[in-house]
Structure 1
Amino acid sequence: LRPVDGSGKDIAAKNEVNSIRALFPDRECFTLVRPLNNENDLQRLDQISLDKLRPEFRAGLDALTKFVFERTRPKQVGATILTGPVLIGITESYLDALNKGAVPTISSSWQSVEEAECRRAYDSASEIYMSTFDRTKSPEEAALREAHEEAVQRSLAVYNASAVGVGSMRKKYEELLQKFFRKAFEDYKRNAFMEADLKCSNAIQSMGKRLRAACHASDASVEKIVKVLDALLSEYEASCHGPGKWQKLAVFLQQSMEGPILDFTRRHIDQIVSEKNSLVLKCRAIEDKMKLVNKQLEDSEKYKSEYLKRYDDAINDKKKLADEYASRMNNLQGDNSSLKERCSSLMKTLDSAKQETLDWRRKYDQVLSKQKAREDQTASEIEVLKSRSTAAEARLAAAREQAESAQEEAEEWKRKYDFAVREAKTALEKAATAQERSSKEIQLREDSLREEFSHSLAEKEEEIKDKTAKVEHAEQCLTTLRLELKECCRFKFFNELNNV
């Protein structure tokens, strides 16, 4: 890097390159070996990982990196340390100047970078102020001022951390930021105070309506109105804020005192006056009653003296009555002794009458037992007759069944006869050719059959007559039994009537 003596283009070009010594007086040189020995690998060095490079190359590279990190210091312009965005801004200004064919200057580039960074810091600080301003505070001057100061401190901290430079540009944007703070605070305060005044007005109107309703209520009283007013004031104090809060409340109280409360007071005074008049009238009426009572007391004293006299007379009469009562008691005691004697004689007669009733009762029991024995005997006889009648009825039913069976048997013989006649006719028809030969035999057979049938019919008729005679006899017996049963029942009925 030392300058070479001589003249010529090559020497002049070499000396221009060697002018780097003037720009970088403090310098150090590091030599690095080839990273790879293979030429093919050198052609694709960007694809080779760091672990596959030569150890000597890696050691030299580590020493160079360590030297750079130890010796390098942050870039500064004046007292301002350049950050990454600031350095990029300066580089862009340099490139713009070079692209436009101008010569870049550090002062103009730094001024443009400083303005851009201050502008960015101003925007960030204004956003921080708007986002950190506590809008939940009550619209009071002190609370809003406190929230404003807190938001200003936070936004100024962000601005100071982001702004670049210490010159007029930074002060300019700082003044703009202060103006923005004042304007935003005044706008918000004005709107908040307007909303608070509107809310106070609405609350005052509703309070007036409720107070008028309480004053005009049918059961309104001073205690109730005071309670309503206390509740309204506490509710107003808790819900309403703003600079005109107490002024509006004072106006409301003045209007209330002059309006509904005054009307209520007048009505209350009129009511008290009317009550006073009514009480005066009642008092006068009571005085009149007292006079009347005094007169009645005087009359009662007179009546008392009269009643005392009457009481003495009544006591004397009582003594006379007591004497008469004593004499009458003596007479009644004598009468009582005579009545006791009569009662004893009557008791004796009563005992004799009881003895006679017992004798008659014993006789009645004997007659009743005899009557019961007779009734039992008649009942047993009736049972025997009933059993006989049932037996006769059973015999009658059996006789009827036998008669019916005999009738059925006769009908059966008739059917047999008809069947035999039909057979004979068929035989005659079949043996028409031999009729002449056996006519006599057939005639004899018919005669014999007729005789047998007539004989059997006669027997059956006799049996039927016997059965009918038996049935008639059984019916006669049944009728006689029924008559006897009726007579027994009549006898029993008459005996019961006689006993009764």
Structure 2
Amino acid sequence: MASAVPMEAPISMVENRNGELMVNQQALQILMTITNPVVVVAMVGMYRTGKSYLMNRLAGKNTGFSLGSTVQSHTKGIWMWCVPHPSKLDYTLVLLDTEGLGDVEKGDSKNDSWIFALAILLSSTFVYNSMSTINHQALEQMQYVTELTKLIKVKSSPNAVGEDSAEFAGFFPDFVWTVRDFTLELKVDGHPITADEYLENALKLSKGNHPKVQMANLPRECIRKFFPKRKCFIFDRPTNDKSLLAHLEDAQESQLEPAFKDQSDNFCSYIFSTAKPKTLSGGIIVNGIRLGKLLETYVKTISSGDIPCLENAVLALAQTENSAAVEKATEHYVERMVLKVVFPTETLQDLLSLHTDCEKEAISVFMKHSFKDDTHKFQEELVKILESKKDDFIRQNEEESIKYCQTKLEYLSKTLMEAIPQGTFSVPGGYKLYRKEKEKIMNDYHQVPRKGVKADEVLQRFLQSLAMTEESILQTDQALTEQEKALEAEQVKREAAEKEKNLLEQQQREMQEKMKAQLKTYEENVNQLTKKMEEERIQILREQETILEDKLKEQKKLMEEGFHAKAEEMKNQMKELQKQIEDTKSRKTSVWSSILHNLGTALMVLLPGVGKLLGFGMNGLAELVQ
């Protein structure tokens, strides 16, 4: 488990204090250390139905979650146990054991409803545990599922009251019903059936318009709508020894009924192999950090008296996650640049090439960890930061080059600088001697390797500092005629002008190189964002098609059961869903248009060199991502 806090035993995650739900900060801190994806399995059910035993089995332990041995409910609130996933090394298994529903000592059914709703919101696999059989009474106890639309909103819009069940199904976890102490034969009309078929048979709707019939159908309809993926497991009694049953955590494997052991193993095997990581709409994988932030948001909302909104919770999560993604990307860029750059680089292009490579990696890091940055606010922030960091590296590169070149010139010119005040060149023929010494210094300087980007500029400043001295030596040299002195002075001016011209051309080339680097920044941001949004579009399309497939199956069942009016209602829902699918399929062009007009415009401001270099507007830039 990618966690700095090993969990030898479960701890309370959500506590009920004086009728108010509160997050245990210790549990939150543990979640904040888990950086890999989490498979979250929550188990709920009426109190004293043996939920905790199965949860301990999933953790690979006999003890952990409190089993209790009396008619009182032992688990209060929600308890959490994070353990390494037994078969998926890159995942962490987060087990949530919930307070038993229907505990007469609580006297607060609202608490049960919120515990049930939180288990739904947090888990990727939701296990409902009941006793003996799936009958009318067992389904009545599932009343909490009928309240979910009152306790949870999918969208934040004011008209979201009548949200389609497909919206919930897209967010909700997979559903598993476990039936304990099952004593019936798995048969219907004398024919053997599977546990899954037993569940589906129990969820069939009854015909009739009587209020009692409709009330009985309600939990069945909700389970079918909200949880299209369903699974059922039945369990024999663990043992017929009542004294052993009261202390099941102390029982040896050999003391349990073989059938119960096999059934428990099958249940665990199914969870380990099939339970998916917690995923938000759009394929956003949840790790421990994200789960902790969602937990905080949901409990805070419930405690304030509001209804948790899935869309708002995801957007709030995106704000903090995207800020963190900018930090991660920036850190990655700086770390890679520090590792790769050896100051001073021979040319600016050498440095910019390294920048381009490291920037590409940094943008990729941002894309991996960010989501729902619809206004591109955080991506723009990253561009701005990386531009600033790049400028810092350019400045440091120049400073290192200047320092290195000045040191070398001071060493090479030491003899010349000592000879000038001693009058070595203030003699007839002294100017020729001076020129010879100066040429030697320049030749030796040109041979020095890795002088960096400021080599010519430092040399030019050095020569300019000697200009007056050189003029004085020239004019006082009695071995030269006035005409020779004039010719020499003209030659010095031409050389200085040539060097100035070369220096200006170098600066212009560097400006062009900086603009080209900005163009690469623009292209890389647009290309990576285009790729990410296309992947998201395909993921959303996949989710929509799965929901449509589930609705088609449900419609077929309703037709088979004779509920033609309900099947017709679903037909209208499916038409709307098919329209959404067609919209998603054709979104590719509009996505690119959105990128260019929103992100592109912002980048043109942040990267002015792009527009200057290309000399055309957004229509021309559109060609870059064709």
TM-score bin, normalised by smaller chain: 0.3 to 0.5
- Highest RCO, 1 vs 2 (Cα 8 Å, sep ≥ 6): 2
Structure having the larger proportion of residues in helix: 1
TM-score normalised to structure 2 length: 0.36
